[in-house]
Structure 1
Amino acid sequence: MALFSDVCRSARVLLAQCQRSAAAAAWLHCQPAARKYSQAAPEPEAVVSDNEDINKTFVNRNPRNLEQMALAVKDRGWATVWPSRKYYHRLVLRRTQKHTTAEVYSCDSTDPVLSCSTTEWALKRQLGSMRSVAACRAVGEVLAQRCCGAGITRLYYREVPWMFRSKANQSFWRAMKEGGVVLNEPKQKFV
């Protein structure tokens, strides 16, 4: 009986090996010629388009981008000039006997970039006095809103110390800060 079970086991093993080798031969027969030999697949050719050409000269159409990253060059001016000319945008508050005016100047322009004044009809009809602390605060709030709308979030604001101590200047300064404008500029990064 033991001899019969050994012969059956050997026959099953031999039959399984034959079936495996036949299946392997059939599989190799169905494969393309590239699979039979060990060869690298051919590299696909790159498609070159005219849209992907790189321009030799680059023109920055958004110069404010360099200002916001503090990479743009600041004009230093003379050391004896006051106020200093190391700024991208400067905030100036003027109070005359009749009106209050705040203006934002660019470093390379003598004309204001943005301005707000109590001479504007919308502010004038809301205020009782054009020169009071409330007028300075209202001018600061409106100018801060305009600066944020124009994308100017950092300004250089330097006032003479004895003028800065007044309540009107303090309320203007607070209104600008509460409006989302930072009243100092980052130091220039030299790359």
Structure 2
Amino acid sequence: MSTAKKFLTTFINKNPRNLEVTKVQRRPTGWDFEKKKDKKNFYYKATLATFKNHIDAYITHFENGVVLTASTREPLISQQLHSPVDVSAAYNIGRVLADRCSQSGILWCIPATDGEEVERSERKKAFYGALKAGGIKLEEPESIEHSHENDPNFTWKRFTIKHTREDKLDENPLIRK
């Protein structure tokens, strides 16, 4: 008795993060004239928010918003802390968030603040240090350029621009001031 096996002719990917992890999906680039364009364009961004009585940390996805959080208001975390707002609390929140990121498959994110602000704040330095110690890279990888080599529907090749003499002139003689 022989049984014929059928194979799927089309494959439906049900993992929404697959293109991000394989670096095929490009993150939104925005406009070239935006201020701090590299901080506004990201896959994941790690933010530390300090308040009077607690510290919150969260990971933000560029499409879905906040995907992971950790806070000193959580009872299991606050029971283990001496103070919910000091440097050790920020470090421990970073450890918890790094663990939650690694469990959910997030391997990289960018800091929400620039390097100068991190150097001035002991809490932020401890938080991002704990993320780094937890195995989270604080930089995002470059995406693969969209071309005919990785997309069969991409039918044209990029045209190289060859400049003419008029393009190379500093001042166009046809334009009078």
TM-score (norm 2): 0.72
Q: Out of 119, 130, 137, which is 1:182 matched to? A: 137
Letter in 2 for 1:186: P
Q: Percent identity?
A: 29
Alignment RMSD, CA only? 2.1
SS at match of 1:146: helix
SS at match of 1:187: coil
The Cα shift of 1:60 comes to: 2.2
Whole-Å Cα distance in 2 between the matches of residues 89 and 103 of structure 1? 10
Q: Out of 122, 125, 134, which is 1:170 matched to? A: 125
Query: Is there any run of 5+ residues in structure 2 with no aligned partner, and where?
Result: 147-177
Q: Out of 135, 142, 146, which is 2:100 matched to? A: 146
Greater helix percent: which structure?
1
Specify the alignment match of 1:109 in structure 2: 64
Whole-Å Cα distance in 1 between the matches of residues 139 and 57 of structure 2? 16
Evaluate the alpha carbon distance shift between residue 131 and residue 189 of structure 1 in structure 2; reply closer, same or farther with a 3 A threshold.
same
For each residue in 1:51-86, what CA deviation from the matched residue of structure 2 results, as whole angstroms up to 9, or x when unmatched? 12523xx43211312211211121123442556332
Whole-Å Cα distance in 2 between the matches of residues 52 and 94 of structure 1? 51
Whole-Å Cα distance in 1 between the matches of residues 51 and 71 of structure 2? 11
Specify the alignment match of 1:66 in structure 2: 19
Greater C-alpha Rg: 1
Evaluate the alpha carbon distance shift between residue 139 and residue 49 of structure 1 in structure 2; reply closer, same or farther with a 3 A threshold.
same
Evaluate the alpha carbon distance shift between residue 121 and residue 49 of structure 1 in structure 2; reply closer, same or farther with a 3 A threshold.
same
For each residue in 1:68-108, what CA deviation from the matched residue of structure 2 results, as whole angstroms up to 9, or x when unmatched? 12111211234425563321111111111221111011111
SS at match of 2:14: coil
The Cα shift of 1:159 comes to: 0.9
The Cα shift of 1:127 comes to: 1.0
